Structure 1
Amino acid sequence: MRPHVLFFNEINRTSLLYVGGKGANLGELSKAGFPVPGGFCVTTYAYKDFIATSSQIESLLDELNDLDSNDLNQLRELGKRIRTHLQHLAIPIKLKNKIIHAWESVGKQYAYAVRSSATAEDLPTASFAGQHDTYLNIKGKEQLLQHIRQCWASLFTDRAISYRSKNGFNHREVYLSVVVQRMVNPNISGIMFTADPIKGNRKVVSIDASFGLGEALVSGIVSADLYKVKEDIIIEKNISDKKLAIFSLSKGGTVKKELTLEQQTKQAMIDSQILSLAKIGKQIEDHFESPQDIEFCFENDEIFIVQSRPVTSLYPLPNIEQEPLRVLISFGHIQVMTDAIKPLGLSVIRTLFKGGGNVILETGGRIYFDPTEILRHKLGRRFLPKILNNVDENISRAIKEIIQRDEIVDVPPKPGLFKDIRKFVGPILKEGWKNYRKSDPKLVKDQIEAYLETKLNEIRQDLDNSIGVDRLKKVQFHLNTLGPNILENVIPKNILPFLFSTIFLRKLYIRWIGDDKEFQKLNKSLPGNVTSEMGLQIGDLADLVRELPKVEEYLKNAKDQTFYEGLNSVDGGERFKHAFELFISKYGMRCPGEIDLTKPRWREAPTQLIPAILGHMRSVKSGEHREKFTLGELESQEAAQKIINCVKHNRFKTKLVKRQLELYHHLAGLREHHKYMFVSFLDECKKAILSEAEVLVKKGVLQERKDVYFLSLDELIEVLEGEYKQNKSQSISDRKETYEYHQKLKPPRVMTSEGEIITGSPKQGDFPKNALVGSPASAGVIEGKARIILSPETAMLNEGEILVAPHTDPGWTPLFQSARALVTEVGGLMTHGSVVAREYGIPAVVGLDDATKKLKDGQLIRVDGNQGFVEILSDE
């Protein structure tokens, strides 16, 4: 049966395919007993039968699917052609009669709202709000039929075409139903969100309301009052100056009127109405089991609900209780990699932190950790914001804000929490302090690298000598023990003594020299930094390519699958291949976003490095990178000598300062070693997992090897054991869609268990009027052209350009040699980009929200790494 018309009481959420999201939601509300004005839906079957009478529509849809959505002129022209064609297409007589019969059944004496309802509309992941047309106060059958046809045509408005293209919907597979709903004559209308749409708090109901019809508010013609309700208490009122309103006309249509002076400043809804409406809103949210965006109106004092859709803009919450209030911090912002992570990558990270229990949480394709119990203790509230300030100043400011709240302060921490922390951290700190006082820092690099090599050989042999379930269980074991191994055997040797010397030396430079600018010079050209050495070797590869023009031409079009073989037939290819393979043997496990095991490593996709090599050739002279490094060494030595000169007449102080400088000089460059160790181990685990995935592909269990990325480690073991009960193909397909959705989300740095996004107070300072303010990460002031780079795999910097990126990790290092300065959306003093920028001596501003959107390619900007802001000087 293909019904052309369905009344609301015949519809529920399973009717989506033939009444669209709006119609299905209204049917649900109506059947559940909510106050919905009566009406019916003209189904998608009716729409299909309507367009089937057209001899042109198929060719028009072919043109639409081939359209470049960025070509706005072509989009407008084609959209107009389709709309005009549909508006002049006759409605089949049988369909017309069914619509008229339904209209008469509800009541031909009423006026109606005629609304579009697409099959891809009002979904949990895409709302399509405002993409299609709505017509109000429609009277009479001829007007009704005309506006139904116009609704069908609105499936091809410019905004609807563009939205579908950007969200990956096939134009041929989205159909339109039309909702025909009896109009009420409201004195008040508005929109209610059952979760705060700005802050994200799931307990706060946010209501916008004004006089007359809600269409004026939805279209932005009039201002609205704002009311917020939390747990049956009105917590905020913002009464707007409401100068205009839209009202129904008795003969049909609407009119815009100016309100009286008394109405303009009058509260549109009285308090009892606000509370009653909020209560209904929460009941609707409970019914749909998700926060809702609801259109409502009051006719006299009676509430009517005319539409409800999911709120799609909220960042999802992990599966935890909202009370007592908890604080969640983004692991991705701390690791400067905020992209969504596939299920296997997420499960690997959680396996690494298996001892974290409920402290490590997963939501929106990202990892969050919960430090709430630490923050409930006064020592935690004192020290954690200071520690986080070095990682991401914005996170620190947010934490400083949340720890002022009674919900944190008044709830006692779990008994014995700090005793457990001391028991775990105490031995590590004790060993670190001992090394700070007594170890020979010149030996530490060899000690750590020997440990790394021994451990890496151990894990490699262990995984190579096993297969199947046994191999993957060993992967789990090594991931479980990796963190404790690094904490016990690496951190006390290099990171802790380095941090202690950093604190000591920074204070001395400020006290004796007046600021820490000279101290920052100690960071330049440090020995032993694996990431800096990697950058230098990229420069060496670029210099080699300068001598081999045929290799340069080859690299411009090289493919991953034939990368090495292709070099064999190029003049000079063997020479470059040898040097490149040496580089890959040491750094091939690295890549952008390397904390995510599923990201392709350089050894898997060597062409990722080509833009950096060719960009280096364009922006840096031959040998210049090595010259800069040597110059940096001299500047570091001069900065060290300046502080020694301050105490040269005091033997004890001279000895003390030289010891601190020695620690800093030999250990600061090793601060990336534990990450290098982690990534090396991770790559061995990846090889083992993909080897088992290959077996599953050959058996027909998986369609392709990379499908394994959409299973967790536990699930993969279940698959190998034959105990995985779900439909693998469907599960993997669903997860691929979910991953794409998560990739579009912007994860908050800090949020609560109620979903509230905490941003902290704006940073204060004497900044220029139009400055974009972040955090200072590397000293210096420089001007240059902005180059927005979202991913380093295809990016090339030109001479004099400033790298503007969402974040950077070691996989971005090849670009640093070419950058004049650095601006990132994420990061702090001790994160990768900041550390490398200081080593290279380029100014850096980090933690500048939405930098890649606020700045444009080619703009002349000034980066002030001393104070932490960016100025736009001119547009190109």
Structure 2
Amino acid sequence: MTPATWSFVQVFMLRTMGIPSCQGHPTWGNIGGRFYLNLSTSLSLGTAFGRTVDQMADTVSAVFGRIPPGTPVPVIPLRRWATLRELVPLVTAFRLRLRIAHRRLPSYLDTAADRCAALRARARTAPTPDALLRLWRTELWPYCLETFDMMSAAARGRGGGNRLVKVRQRLAEQVGEADANALTTGIAHGAPLASLGPLLGLASVANGDTSPEDHIRQWGHRCPDEFEISLPRPAEDPTWLDHQLAAFRDSRTDVHAMLTQRRAEHEQAWARYQRKHPRHVTWTRRELRSWARLVHDREATRSEVNRAFWAIREVVLRAGELTGHGHDLFLLDRHEIERVLAGDDRPLAAVPARRDAYERYRALPNYPTLIRGPFDPERWAADPRRRTDLYDAATAPAPPEHPEPANHHSRTAGAPRPAATTPEPERKPPNPITGFPGAVGTVEGVARVVTSVDDAQDLRAGEVLVTTATNVGWTPLFPRAAAVVTDVGAPLSHAAIVARELGIPAVVGCGNATMRIRTGDRLRVHGERGEVHLIDPPTEGGAPPTGA
């Protein structure tokens, strides 16, 4: 992240999580420009009030993904009464904002897109620095704060932040993963989820049902780097939609047929539930309606948050134009940008050093998913034994069961992952890679391991997409995949939700799938069991998909 983006992300996190730190221990942070959550603080808060470490680890895993076995989360010895004194005022204010946001959420969602578009237009045409600063302080920034609060309210719903997880867990216990999967698809409860919007929009444009202009207006803010305000949105690229449509047509995807099949599976699962649990039907129907409303609101407000970050980008761009400092302002924080708009150029003295740090960190490979202890990104990147799944300062890095070829370690962030070279004839299939059941189904296919959405453009129809994590910018690629496997995620992550909606098997939160699998490996993905099996030695340079 640029310094500007980080300064706004901190505010977003404060409004959506409510507790920035406890007794000096932060709940999130920035490591070499990358955003990280501090799971130690979250876990320790629970243990300070009587929950066990195992209970808290289960709660954390259900939301953020599994912690690898044998990797203990350091527990901070928080003092209970000191914690109460510090947190009660924060939690009280946070809950008050949530109650207000809950009441206003429906009317907010009805008008948010148009309000944001109007504010962006006014920011783009602000005639002077003073006019832009006044618009920012009195209207645009308050609108962003309101949007952050709406996201927090929608994500939690009236039943608490864990309701989505609990409802699905209960259904899985009653009827198994497959039917729980079918019953908790958003498409079966009215309008499609926002995560599917870019894909369904492309299908609509391709069929002539929606104009290109309407699609850009509705989805031109959604992309893989939605929070990074220094990067352009898709709508700013006049060729973006043409490229998207060409790839969509080449894939010969029938999205509506996939969704029709999912609706049928939902109805069949519901019929089975009624026969098996007739006494619970009324309660479960109510819970599923509530679940659907909650997940739709959660996705819709997340889309509006990303639209708000686009508006923030417009302000910084216009500030750079009006002050003559251009993109240098992305290397300042939000308060410094306001000072420059007010005529104080002194913050700009920090730009050269920050640009140097930003470029150095940006050139490094993606950092490990999980970091335990002190971490120096540049020293880690220089270590030929480094791992991308886990860094533990207390131990030397141990090779994964399926090590990557050495030339992978010299690549830079965003560079294509090299294909496997010489097969290893003596290699035995490793233990299954395990994660959360993201979406049920069993499929075999050839792996395509990618580290960025740009690399994912090489994904061939019927291959298994293996990556660290996905967001809505990846959605148009999903119909090409026979299955999806991720390092990071839980049953409510983007990859799991979209895969469930489309009926694509998925295993999420595996921890180290991208280290143990190579492009060209043949895999069997068991979505219901949350397992990925290597069934053949890797092929040289990948192979065409078969049997998907």
TM-score of the superposition, structure 2-length normalised? 0.73
User: 1:646 matched to which residue of 2?
Assistant: 276
C-alpha distance in structure 1 between counterparts of 2:171 and 2:137, whole Å: 50
C-alpha distance in structure 1 between counterparts of 2:337 and 2:460, whole Å: 45
Corresponding position: 1:628 with 2:258:
yes
User: 2:362 matched to which residue of 1?
Assistant: 740
- Cα 1:487–1:843 shift into 2, 3 Å: same
Corresponding position: 1:393 with 2:65:
yes
SS in 2 for 1:803: strand
C-alpha distance in structure 2 between counterparts of 1:375 and 1:467, whole Å: 47
SS in 2 for 1:681: helix
User: 1:616 matched to which residue of 2?
Assistant: 248
Equivalenced residues, count: 472
Corresponding position: 1:583 with 2:215:
yes
- Cα 1:376–1:628 shift into 2, 3 Å: closer
The structure where helix makes up a greater share of residues is 2
Corresponding position: 1:836 with 2:494:
no
Deviation at 1:782, TM superposition (A): 0.7
Deviation at 1:543, TM superposition (A): 5.5
- Cα 1:429–1:480 shift into 2, 3 Å: closer
C-alpha distance in structure 2 between counterparts of 1:470 and 1:865, whole Å: 52
Which of the numbers 794, 800, 803 marks the counterpart of 2:465?
803
Letter in 1 for 2:523: I
Q: What's the CA shift string for 1:472-512, capped at 9, x where partnerless?
A: 44555444454334335x346x574795376246425523x
C-alpha distance in structure 1 between counterparts of 2:45 and 2:88, whole Å: 12
Which of the numbers 392, 408, 431 marks the counterpart of 1:757?
392
The structure where strand makes up a greater share of residues is 1
Letter in 1 for 2:85: G
Corresponding position: 1:365 with 2:33:
yes
Letter in 1 for 2:48: H
Which of the numbers 88, 91, 95 marks the counterpart of 1:419?
88
User: 2:423 matched to which residue of 1?
Assistant: none
- Cα 1:580–1:822 shift into 2, 3 Å: same
Corresponding position: 1:510 with 2:137:
no
Q: What's the CA shift string for 1:657-691, capped at 9, x where partnerless?
A: 32223323444333311211111111112112111
Deviation at 1:540, TM superposition (A): 3.6
User: 2:152 matched to which residue of 1?
Assistant: 487
Tell me the percent identity.
20
Corresponding position: 1:696 with 2:358:
no
C-alpha distance in structure 1 between counterparts of 2:328 and 2:98, whole Å: 42
Q: Is the 8 A contact 2:67 2:511 kept in 1?
A: no
Letter in 2 for 1:368: Y
Corresponding position: 1:783 with 2:444:
yes
Letter in 2 for 1:780: G
C-alpha distance in structure 2 between counterparts of 1:366 and 1:750, whole Å: 12
Deviation at 1:811, TM superposition (A): 0.8
Deviation at 1:864, TM superposition (A): 1.9
Deviation at 1:589, TM superposition (A): 0.9
Letter in 2 for 1:851: A
Deviation at 1:588, TM superposition (A): 0.7
Deviation at 1:729, TM superposition (A): 6.0
User: 1:272 matched to which residue of 2?
Assistant: none
Deviation at 1:656, TM superposition (A): 2.0
Which of the numbers 500, 505, 515 marks the counterpart of 2:163?
500
Q: What's the CA shift string for 1:114-141, capped at 9, x where partnerless?
A: xxxxxxxxxxxxxxxxxxxxxxxxxxxx
C-alpha distance in structure 1 between counterparts of 2:217 and 2:527, whole Å: 35
Q: Is the 8 A contact 2:120 2:314 kept in 1?
A: no
User: 1:672 matched to which residue of 2?
Assistant: 299
Deviation at 1:809, TM superposition (A): 0.4
C-alpha distance in structure 1 between counterparts of 2:394 and 2:485, whole Å: 20
- Cα 1:738–1:714 shift into 2, 3 Å: farther
Letter in 2 for 1:715: E
User: 1:592 matched to which residue of 2?
Assistant: 224
Which of the numbers 697, 702, 717 marks the counterpart of 2:338?
717
- Cα 1:499–1:778 shift into 2, 3 Å: same
Letter in 2 for 1:751: R
Letter in 2 for 1:467: A
Q: Please list every run of 5 or more consecutive structure 2 residues that lacks an aligned counterpart in the other structure.
A: 377-390, 401-428, 540-548
C-alpha distance in structure 2 between counterparts of 1:602 and 1:818, whole Å: 21
SS in 1 for 2:479: coil
- Cα 1:725–1:690 shift into 2, 3 Å: closer
Letter in 2 for 1:387: T
C-alpha distance in structure 1 between counterparts of 2:52 and 2:219, whole Å: 40
C-alpha distance in structure 2 between counterparts of 1:839 and 1:738, whole Å: 40
User: 1:536 matched to which residue of 2?
Assistant: 200
- Cα 1:380–1:461 shift into 2, 3 Å: farther
Q: Is the 8 A contact 2:437 2:529 kept in 1?
A: yes
- Cα 1:491–1:860 shift into 2, 3 Å: closer
- Cα 1:483–1:781 shift into 2, 3 Å: same
Corresponding position: 1:352 with 2:12:
yes
Which of the numbers 504, 519, 524 marks the counterpart of 2:180?
519
C-alpha distance in structure 1 between counterparts of 2:222 and 2:52, whole Å: 36
- Cα 1:758–1:613 shift into 2, 3 Å: farther
Q: What's the CA shift string for 1:738-791, capped at 9, x where partnerless?
A: 3434x435145243469883899x99xxxx744333333222211112223333
- Cα 1:654–1:729 shift into 2, 3 Å: closer
Deviation at 1:374, TM superposition (A): 1.6
Letter in 2 for 1:364: G
User: 2:483 matched to which residue of 1?
Assistant: 821
SS in 2 for 1:671: helix
Letter in 1 for 2:259: F
User: 1:102 matched to which residue of 2?
Assistant: none
SS in 2 for 1:816: helix
Q: Please list every run of 5 or more consecutive structure 1 residues that lacks an aligned counterpart in the other structure.
A: 1-340, 545-574
C-alpha distance in structure 1 between counterparts of 2:308 and 2:91, whole Å: 28
Q: Mapping of 1:430-449 within 5 angstroms?
A: 447=107, 449=109
Structure having the higher Rg: 1
- Cα 1:859–1:625 shift into 2, 3 Å: same
Deviation at 1:710, TM superposition (A): 2.2
Letter in 2 for 1:452: A
Q: Is the 8 A contact 2:98 2:152 kept in 1?
A: no
Which of the numbers 35, 48, 54 marks the counterpart of 1:377?
48
C-alpha distance in structure 2 between counterparts of 1:667 and 1:392, whole Å: 19
User: 2:349 matched to which residue of 1?
Assistant: 727
C-alpha distance in structure 1 between counterparts of 2:350 and 2:206, whole Å: 45
* 655-664 or 499-508, larger mean C-alpha shift: 499-508
Q: What's the CA shift string for 1:593-621, capped at 9, x where partnerless?
A: 21222232111235455665434333335
Deviation at 1:850, TM superposition (A): 4.5
Q: Is the 8 A contact 2:47 2:56 kept in 1?
A: no
Q: What is the aligned-residue RMSD (CA, Å)?
A: 3.9
Q: Mapping of 1:657-668 within 5 angstroms?
A: 657-668=284-295
- Cα 1:418–1:395 shift into 2, 3 Å: farther
User: 2:453 matched to which residue of 1?
Assistant: 792
C-alpha distance in structure 2 between counterparts of 1:815 and 1:353, whole Å: 29
C-alpha distance in structure 2 between counterparts of 1:389 and 1:759, whole Å: 22
SS in 2 for 1:730: helix
Q: Is the 8 A contact 1:591 1:599 kept in 2?
A: no
Deviation at 1:536, TM superposition (A): 1.6
- Cα 1:731–1:625 shift into 2, 3 Å: same
Deviation at 1:865, TM superposition (A): 1.7
Structure of greater relative contact order (alpha carbons < 8 Å, 6+ residues apart): 2
